[in-house]
Amino acid sequence: MTVASPKTVVVVPTYNERDNLPVLAGLLADLPVPNLHLLVVDDNSPDGTGEIADKLAAESPDNVSVLHRDTKDGLGRAYIAGMIRALEQGADIVVQMDADLSHPVSAIPVMLDALLTKGAAAVIGSRYVAGGSTAADWPWSRRALSVWANGYVNAILRLRLKDATAGFKAWRAETLRAIDPNSVHSNGYSFQVEMNHRAVTRGLTILEVPIRFEERGQGVSKMSLAVQLESALTPWKLRFGGKRG
Say which residues have a Cβ less than 8 Å from residue 137's Cβ, sequence separation at least 6.
215
Question: String of b and e for 30-63 (b: at least 16 CB within 10 Å)?
Answer: eeebeebbbbbbbbebeeebbebbbebbeeeeee
Residue 1 in domain: no
Residue 110 in domain: yes
Residue 3 in domain: no
Residue 28 in domain: yes
Rounded CA gap, 67 and 53, in Å?
Answer: 9
What CATH number is given to the structural domain containing 156?
Answer: 3.90.550.10
Residue 87 in domain: yes
Amino acid 227 reads V
Q: Is the pTM of this model over 0.95?
A: no
Residue 190 in domain: yes
Q: HEC states along 172-226?
A: EHHHHHHHCHHHCCCCCCHHHHHHHHHHHHCCCCEEEEECEECCCCCCCCCCCHH
Question: Three-state DSSP class for 90?
Answer: coil
Give me the number of domains the chain comprises: 1
Per-residue pLDDT of the chain (245 residues; tens, 9 = 90+): 456 799 999 999 999 999 999 999 999 999 999 999 999 999 999 999 999 999 999 999 999 999 999 988 888 999 999 999 999 999 999 999 999 999 999 999 999 999 999 999 999 999 999 999 887 766 777 777 778 888 888 888 889 999 998 999 999 999 999 999 988 878 767 889 999 999 999 999 999 999 999 865 444 454 554 555 565 667 667 767 754 44
Rounded CA gap, 35 and 107, in Å?
Answer: 17
Residue 89 in domain: yes
Burial of 203 from C-beta contacts in 10 A (0-12 / 13-18 / 19+) = exposed
| Structural domain of 162 | 8-244
Residue 2 in domain: no
